[in-house]
Amino acid sequence: LRGVGEEWFMGTVNLLPDGRGTPAPVGVAGLHAYRAQYFRDIEKAVFGEVNYRITTKLKATAGLRMSEIQVDYLQVTNGAVFGNTGGYVGTPAPPAVVTDPRTGHPFANQPGDPWFNVISGKQKEKPVSPKLGLSYQATEQNLFYATYSTGYRPGGINQPAPPGNCAPTLVALGITTTPTEYFSDKIASYEGGAKVRLFNKVQVNASLFYIDWKNPQVSQRLTQCGHTYVDNAGKAHSKGGDIQAQGRFGPITLTGSVAYTNAEYDETVLTKVPAGTAPQVVVSKGDELGSPKWQAAFSAQYNFNLLSYDAYLRGDYQYSGKYLRTPGPASFSYNAVSYRGAATNFVTVRAGLNLGRVDASLFINNLTKEDARLNVGQSPPSLAVTGSTYRPREYGLQLTYRY
């Protein structure tokens, strides 16, 4: 049994028509909102792996994982924000609100109250994930390998788009509601690589990979009302490679890594709409999945002796290339404001002294004052844009005590 999770949430907001937050007694027409959720997921799995030594240097690996996943969901809503503009009727019998939405109607004396929406869903999947691999230990310090592996990510249930707020957007898309569920996505990964020691000083690890992705889960945003949900988007692939190296040359230690990833959707996916209605684009063939193509990291450390204590000077640099946050301009969830993410450069320097059990160091984070926007959000027609960035340049003293 991998894991069992169960949770529920219930909240009520009763406001008078002035909208100033004054509590309104149940039965008074106003801006009422109520939501109760119940969610349960159960996952069972058995897995195993076998290694077989073909020769003293060549080894084969075979593994298998079989799973069963079940997800249950129930939601009860009321209020203008959920598309129910009427007030509650009558006076509820005690207790006014049940503590568990599975045990009955929120108002015990009104089982037929039309102002409540009840939405439920259930999923059950049985994914099977095999793994195969070969590794060749050429020498004690040099290893070459190739692997084929598969994996999956469980599906789930979406909270429906609030029709009161999202009705214009849904009408424009030709749909009445967003998908109530999304399904697991599956990958098949092919990787080959090497781990070698050069000149007995430099350790180098390198790999190439190709990933075939079916039904990738993609977050979609109804830009006119701000609601987000998850949908499956056909097929995609990711390919690339990376190289890492570390070497020590006397008192100086150098490390570096460079990675390249090209991840794109392989087909155009359209919204599912009634016959006679023009579908909208979810993602287009060639749209990027949102990961930077280039990433790199480098560091250098100089160790020396100061007043009979071990001391060091260190610098770290991290680079992440530009990327795209949303599907392309043809997609209904495209947003020109948040579409492009800029490349970032982050530098840290540190000077430290080892005083036995105490390690003291002075540091400067974000030496170059990098301020690229990392997360950007905007929901038209509002002109407000939200975002975040790195902390500004930061100086500090850090003391570490070992006991």
Q: What is the pLDDT along the chain (403 residues), one digit of tens a residue?
A: 333 444 444 444 443 343 333 444 444 444 456 667 777 888 899 999 999 999 999 999 999 999 998 888 877 776 655 655 444 444 444 444 444 444 444 444 444 444 566 777 788 889 999 999 999 999 999 999 999 999 988 888 887 777 767 877 888 788 777 888 888 899 999 999 999 999 888 999 999 999 999 999 988 888 777 788 888 888 999 999 999 999 999 999 999 999 999 999 999 988 887 777 888 888 899 999 888 999 999 999 999 999 889 999 999 999 999 999 888 898 888 888 888 899 999 999 999 999 888 999 999 999 999 999 888 877 766 778 888 999 999 999 999 998 8
What is the sign of the dihedral through the CA atoms of 78, 106, 123 and 67?
positive
Q: Read off the tokens for 15.
A: 């406001």
Q: Read off the tokens for 153.
A: 């990510």
- First-residue to last-residue Cα distance in the chain: 38
How many residues appear in the chain? 403
Please tell me the predicted confidence (pLDDT) of residue 235.
Answer: 93
Q: Output DSSP code: residue 55.
A: S
Q: Read off the tokens for 223.
A: 């830009």
What predicted TM-score, i.e. pTM, was given to this entire model? 0.77
Find where tokens 């937050």 sit: 21
Write the burial class of residue 78 (CB in 10 Å: 0-12 exposed, 13-18 middle, 19+ buried): buried
Give the span between the Cα atoms of 400 and 377, in whole angstroms. Answer: 39
> What is the number of other CB atoms lying within 10 angstroms of the CB of residue 30?
19
Give the span between the Cα atoms of 79 and 88, in whole angstroms. Answer: 9
Give the span between the Cα atoms of 267 and 166, in whole angstroms. Answer: 28
User: Three-class SS of residue 209?
Assistant: strand
User: Three-class SS of residue 296?
Assistant: strand
Find where tokens 């990711």 sit: 238
Is there a contact between 295 and 322 (Cβ–Cβ < 8 Å)? no
Please tell me the predicted confidence (pLDDT) of residue 156.
Answer: 82
User: Three-class SS of residue 187?
Assistant: strand
- Residue 300 carries which side chain, given as an amino acid letter? A
User: Across the strands, what pairs with 315?
Assistant: 300, 349
Q: Cα–Cα distances in Å, from 292 out to 153, 264, 326?
A: 22, 12, 13
Q: Report cis status (omega within 30 of 0) of the bond before 95.
A: yes
Q: Cα–Cα distances in Å, from 93 out to 90, 106, 113?
A: 9, 10, 14
Is there a contact between 192 and 207 (Cβ–Cβ < 8 Å)? yes
User: Across the strands, what pairs with 218?
Assistant: 231
Find where tokens 């290339």 sit: 321
Cα 177–Cα 182–Cα 185 angle in degrees, nearest 5: 150
Give the span between the Cα atoms of 73 and 12, in whole angstroms. Answer: 19
Q: Read off the tokens for 401.
A: 């005590």
Give the span between the Cα atoms of 277 and 272, in whole angstroms. Answer: 9
Q: Read off the tokens for 294.
A: 């280039």
Give the span between the Cα atoms of 219 and 233, in whole angstroms. Answer: 10
Find where tokens 């002294």 sit: 353
Give the span between the Cα atoms of 233 and 236, in whole angstroms. Answer: 8
